[in-house]
């Protein structure tokens, strides 16, 4: 269950951040009405992740619509089939929800933070994500991760591999998705996944493909994978500590250089907890975000748990965010 092969587990992080965090440069071809793509090293970006657990569909749809109308840059569901907070209750499926949410919004970029790779064959995910890119008229961010919630795997009968096995499956899955996105007919021979002259039509609206977000902290497999392939890397550190963010981002940038990529080509995204905003003045909340930005984070995603705090969302979007945009 260790996602960074080090000191912090994802479950421990979730207790603090309240989001299913796991892990953009503009890739071209976006329709004019879509929100501007996140740019690594450029202006700061701001999003929200209303967790689709313990809430009715109407609240989830309202959260996405409000985020769109309030001018945020991104909105994400998560990819779970049961609540991750340990309480029994309803949980809406992320990808089918996302398709409907994409149709209900106009300009905000939408995604799943992040897709649990073992739940679907990556060829299916490539088709699903491309369909949502069309539904949204080119506003999809595809988030991919290795999967972590062992209780969910066991409950629904999904095989739960070792951390290393799940990470290596994700490596192949990313390669499969990118091959399908960019080739007329893709052939791929891997340990876990295979393609044989697989056609792919229609192609995504965004060219050469939608921004790819990879979430994860594992330094041996996941971070090098993100350094090679991601447009956005989603990471987390305990309590959003700026010094730790600086260390993590510095190490990741070194992996990018080793892979032959400019570190600025990969936007660094992280999650904000409700308590990072709630109960603070807008000036204090901005000071915290500025410290994290100075340390290397560029895209900040506010987690909302049930029941959604509508005033918190509005305060974040209208009072905290605007002065931070540059």
pLDDT at 1 > cutoff 60: no
List, for residues 11-21, the tens digit of each pLDDT value: 443 434 343 33
Structure token pair of residue 31: 């329709």
* 5 domain residue, yes or no: no
Q: What percent of the chain has pLDDT over 70?
A: 87
In this prediction, residue 69 has a pLDDT band, given cuts at 50, 70 and 90, of: very high
Strands 185-189 and 140-145: unpaired
CATH number for position 55: 3.20.20.30
Return the pLDDT at 148: 96
**Would you call 2 helix, strand, or coil by DSSP?**
strand
Q: Tell me the two tokens of residue 322.
A: 């605007």
Residues 57 and 129: beta-carbon distance below 8 Å: no
Establish if 304 belongs to a structural domain: yes
Indicate if the alpha-carbon torsion angle 32, 36, 37, 41 is positive or negative: positive
In a domain, 214, yes or no: yes
Tens digits of per-residue pLDDT, 202-221? 999 999 999 999 999 999 99
In this prediction, residues 234-247 reach a mean pLDDT of: 96
How much is the average pLDDT of 51-65? Answer: 98
* Across 36-45, 155-164, 165-174, least confident range: 36-45
Residue 119, domain extent:
10-321
Span 71-120, pLDDT tens digits = 999 999 999 999 999 999 999 999 999 999 999 999 999 999 999 999 99
- Look at residue 187 in the predicted model and tell me its pLDDT: 98
Is residue 1 assigned to a domain? no
Residue 36: pLDDT band (50, 70, 90) is low
> Which one is predicted more confidently, 122 or 11?
122
Q: 289 lies in a domain?
A: yes
The stretch 266-288 carries a mean pLDDT of 96
How is residue 245 written in tokens? Answer: 């963010």
Whether residue 110 lies inside any domain: the answer is: yes
Going by their DSSP bridges, the two strands 194-199 and 185-189 should be labelled as antiparallel
Tell me the CB-side half-sphere exposure of residue 220, using CA atoms within 13 A.
Answer: 11
pLDDT recorded at residue 35: 53
Per-residue pLDDT, averaged over 166-194, amounts to 97
Whether 3 is in a domain gets the answer: no
HSE at residue 204, side-chain half, CA atoms within 13 A, is 32
Cα dihedral across residues 316, 320, 324, 325: positive or negative = positive
The number of distinct structural domains making up the chain is: 1
Residue-level pLDDT at 26:
31
Among candidate residues 303, 297, 301, 288, the one with its CA nearest the CA of residue 267: 297
- Is 326 inside a domain boundary? no
User: Following DSSP, what letter does each residue of 81-113 receive, concatenated?
Assistant: SS-SSS----B--HHHHHHHHHHH-SSSEEEET
């Amino acid at each position: 269950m260790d996602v960074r092969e080090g000191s912090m587990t994802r479950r421990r992080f979730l207790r603090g951040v309240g989001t299913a965090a796991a892990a953009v440069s503009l890739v071209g071809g976006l329709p004019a009405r879509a929100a501007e793509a996140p740019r690594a090293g450029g202006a700061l970006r701001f999003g929200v992740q209303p967790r689709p657990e313990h809430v009715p569909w109407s609240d989830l749809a309202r959260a996405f619509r409000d985020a769109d109308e309030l001018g945020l840059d991104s909105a994400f569901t998560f990819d779970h089939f049961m609540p991750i907070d340990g309480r029994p209750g309803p949980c809406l499926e992320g990808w089918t929800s996302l398709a409907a949410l994409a149709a209900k919004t106009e300009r905000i970029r939408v995604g799943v933070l992040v897709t649990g790779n073992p739940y679907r064959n990556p060829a299916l995910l490539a088709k699903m994500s491309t369909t949502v890119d069309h539904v949204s008229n080119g506003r999809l961010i595809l988030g991919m991760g290795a999967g972590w919630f062992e209780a969910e795997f066991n409950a629904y009968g999904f095989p739960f591999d070792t951390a290393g096995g799940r990470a290596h499956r994700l490596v192949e899955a990313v390669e499969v998705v990118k091959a399908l996105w960019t080739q007329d007919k893709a052939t791929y021979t891997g340990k876990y996944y295979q393609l044989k002259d697989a056609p792919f039509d229609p192609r995504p609206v965004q060219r050469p493909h939608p921004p790819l977000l990879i979430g994860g902290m594992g330094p041996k497999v996941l971070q090098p994978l993100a350094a090679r392939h991601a447009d956005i890397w989603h990471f987390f550190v305990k309590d959003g500590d700026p010094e730790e963010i600086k260390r993590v981002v510095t190490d990741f940038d070194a992996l990018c250089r080793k892979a032959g990529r400019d570190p600025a080509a990969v936007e660094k995204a992280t999650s904000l907890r409700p308590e990072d905003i709630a109960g603070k003045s807008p000036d204090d909340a901005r000071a915290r975000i500025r410290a994290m930005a100075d340390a290397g984070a560029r895209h900040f995603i506010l987690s909302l748990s049930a029941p959604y705090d509508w005033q918190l969302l509005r305060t974040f979007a209208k009072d905290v965010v605007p002065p931070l945009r540059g």
